[in-house]
């Protein structure tokens, strides 16, 4: 008798749990609903980084982060151009996200435990695996980061670089003088004027800055050592799982498209494919878009309007002379891969 009662109680409890889970899954996304209501995605970007987000001569925001924002807009709204870019400094980016002034951040922001645990936000994807490095003037004759003992180091605070640099010098029993300047342009001017010997930042940012020096780029040496792991990517508020899913899988769709050789130029032909994973990606079967709260053509729109991950890289990063390195696809020896689209 007791055994039968336990079974019945278990069945009831299981039914209640299943109903609860089903109800949660059925709920929409407040963020996606707000984006659709206003007709645009509001995306926080740096706006000052040539590789990631920087206005061109026509005022159009260019770069890997800018294009990643456009990809999310294409997935949700079907139009990659429906993005409002909001400049976000290292100090303002998290308050902008927390307060709801932006829907998400694609701002060269490093995924870390402290940020995900303390800021009420989480990282949906990594669009660039980066690391902190050092730029020095060629006249110093420095070949290694171990040779900058006693140097004055220019750093823009607020992004975590100052802690990484401090750890590096302390771990190697070296001394340095930090020159902390909030404004990025002021940091760069300080380095160029000789106020500091070394400029410390993400390797990508240093490579972009060096490239901007034009004929004088060779006057600066990007030291080979990368002294930290800096996975950069999309940050969204916690509590809206559907929006998190949409942002995460938008990026994975671009990686999967590159894996399958699908580009903006040939994505129309992919609609004729008989390859199961391609058909699911194109929304021809599986209703995966609807599962995300999106149109089933979400990935098609992303690839058609923005391109696959490799296309974004070639458009936004390659011109600056930054090798793809660990950002290659997994089958080429890199870290980028998409989980199964099924």
For residue 14, what pLDDT band results from cuts at 50, 70 and 90? very low
Please state which of the ranges 190-194, 225-229, 330-334 shows the lowest mean pLDDT: 225-229
- The C-alpha atoms of residue 101 and residue 41 are separated, in whole angstroms, by 11
Q: What was the pLDDT predicted at 321?
A: 77
Q: What's the CATH code of the domain at 151? A: 3.40.190.10
| pTM as predicted | 0.81
Domain check: are 123 and 68 in the same one?
A: yes
Q: Is a pLDDT exceeding 80 seen at residue 10?
A: no
The pLDDT confidence band at residue 235, using thresholds 50, 70 and 90, is very high
Say yes or no to pLDDT of 49 above 90.
no
Select from 191, 223, 255 the last residue of a domain: 223
Whether 340 is in a domain gets the answer no
Examine the domain organization and report whether 36 and 165 are in the same domain: no
Q: Alpha-carbon distance 148 to 153, whole Å? A: 9
Same domain membership, residue 241 and residue 114: yes
Nearest Cα neighbor of 145 from 210, 203, 206, 226 is 226
pLDDT tens digit string along 51-103?
A: 999 999 999 999 999 999 999 999 999 999 999 999 999 899 999 999 999 99
Whether 91 and 140 share a structural domain: no
154 lies in some domain: yes
Locate all alpha helices (DSSP H) within the chain, ordered by sequence: 2-26, 30-38, 64-77, 93-98, 113-118, 161-171, 184-193, 203-212, 241-259, 267-270, 276-281, 288-291, 298-305, 309-316
Q: Is the pLDDT of residue 24 over 50?
A: no
Q: State the pLDDT at residue 2.
A: 46
Domain extent at residue 305? 31-130+230-324
Q: Of 207, 212, 225, 216, whose CA–CA distance to 321 is shortest?
A: 207
Which one is predicted more confidently, 185 or 31?
31
Sign of CA dihedral 339, 73, 281, 269: negative
Q: How many domains does the chain have?
A: 2
Residue 97 sits in the same domain as residue 212: no
> Does some domain include residue 22?
no
**Is there a single domain that holds both residue 47 and residue 194?**
no
Please tell me the predicted confidence (pLDDT) of residue 19. 36
Are residues 94 and 153 located together in one domain of the fold? no
**Count of CB atoms situated within 10 Å of the CB of 3:** 7
Between 106 and 320, the more confident residue is: 106
Residues 157 and 303 placed together within one structural domain of the fold: no
Q: Is residue 48 part of a domain?
A: yes
Domain end (from 223, 250, 278): 223
Mean pLDDT value across residues 298-324: 94
Instruction: Report the percent of the chain where pLDDT is more than 70.
Output: 92
Q: Residue 339: inside a domain, yes or no?
A: no
Q: Distance of CA 174 to CAs 161, 164, 199, Å?
A: 17, 14, 17
Look at residue 141 and tell me if it is in a domain.
yes
Question: Would you call 218 helix, strand, or coil by DSSP?
Answer: helix
Predicted confidence at residue 226, as pLDDT, reads: 86
Which of 7-16, 35-44, 272-281 is predicted least confidently?
A: 7-16
Question: Does 9 reside within a domain?
Answer: no
Residue 74: inside a domain: yes
Q: Of 223, 251, 279, which closes a domain?
A: 223
Residues 310 and 181 in one domain: no
**Could you tell me if 286 and 218 lie in one domain?**
no
Q: Quick check: 11 pLDDT over 60?
A: no
Predicted confidence (pLDDT) at residue 17 exceeds the cutoff of 50: no
Those residues whose C-beta lies under 8 Å from the C-beta of residue 227, and which sit 6 or more positions away, are 131, 132, 133, 134, 145, 164, 165, 168
What pLDDT score was predicted for residue 116? 96
More confident residue, 258 or 1: 258
For residue 20, what pLDDT is reported? 37
Question: Are residues 297 and 168 located together in one domain of the fold?
Answer: no
Q: Are strands 121-130 and 54-55 parallel, antiparallel or unpaired?
A: unpaired
Which of left, alpha, beta for 108 (phi over 0: left; psi -120 to 50: alpha)?
left
pLDDT in tens, 137-161: 999 999 999 999 999 999 998 778 9
Which candidate, 197, 207, 105, 212, places its Cα nearest to that of 159?
105
Is residue 184 located within the same domain as residue 248? no
3-state secondary structure 188-208: HHHHHHCCCCEEEEEHHHHHH
């Amino acid at each position: 008798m007791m055994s039968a009662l336990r079974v019945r109680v278990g069945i009831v409890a299981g039914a209640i749990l299943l109903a609860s889970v089903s109800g949660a899954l059925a709920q929409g996304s407040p963020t996606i609903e707000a984006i659709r209501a206003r007709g645009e995605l509001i995306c926080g970007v740096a706006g000052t980084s040539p590789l990631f987000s920087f206005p061109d001569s026509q005022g159009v925001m260019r770069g890997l982060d800018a294009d990643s924002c456009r990809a999310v807009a294409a997935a949700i709204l079907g139009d990659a151009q429906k993005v409002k870019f909001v400049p976000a400094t290292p100090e303002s980016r998290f308050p902008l996200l927390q307060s709801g002034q932006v829907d998400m951040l694609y701002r060269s922001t490093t995924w870390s435990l402290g940020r995900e645990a303390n800021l009420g936000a989480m990282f949906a994807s990594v669009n660039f695996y980066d690391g902190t490095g050092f730029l020095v003037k060629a006249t110093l004759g420095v070949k290694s980061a171990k040779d900058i003992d006693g140097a004055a180091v220019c750093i823009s605070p607020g992004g975590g670089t100052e802690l990484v640099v401090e750890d590096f010098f302390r771990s190697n029993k070296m001394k340095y003088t930090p020159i902390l300047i909030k404004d990025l342009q002021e940091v760069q001017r300080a380095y160029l004027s000789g106020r500091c010997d070394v400029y410390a930042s993400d390797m990508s940012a240093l490579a972009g800055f060096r490239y901007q020096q034009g004929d004088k780029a060779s006057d600066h040496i990007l030291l080979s050592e990368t002294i930290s792991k800096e996975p950069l990517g999309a940050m969204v508020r916690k509590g809206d799982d559907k929006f998190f899913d949409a942002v995460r899988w938008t990026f994975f769709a671009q990686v999967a498209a590159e894996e399958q050789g699908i580009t903006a130029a040939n994505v129309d032909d992919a609609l004729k494919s008989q390859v199961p994973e391609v058909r699911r990606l194109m929304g021809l079967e599986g209703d995966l878009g609807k599962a995300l709260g999106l149109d089933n053509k979400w990935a098609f729109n992303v690839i058609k309007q923005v391109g696959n991950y490799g296309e974004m890289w070639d458009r936004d990063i390659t011109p600056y002379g930054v090798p793809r390195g660990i950002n290659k696809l997994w089958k080429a020896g890199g870290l980028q891969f998409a989980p199964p689209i099924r």
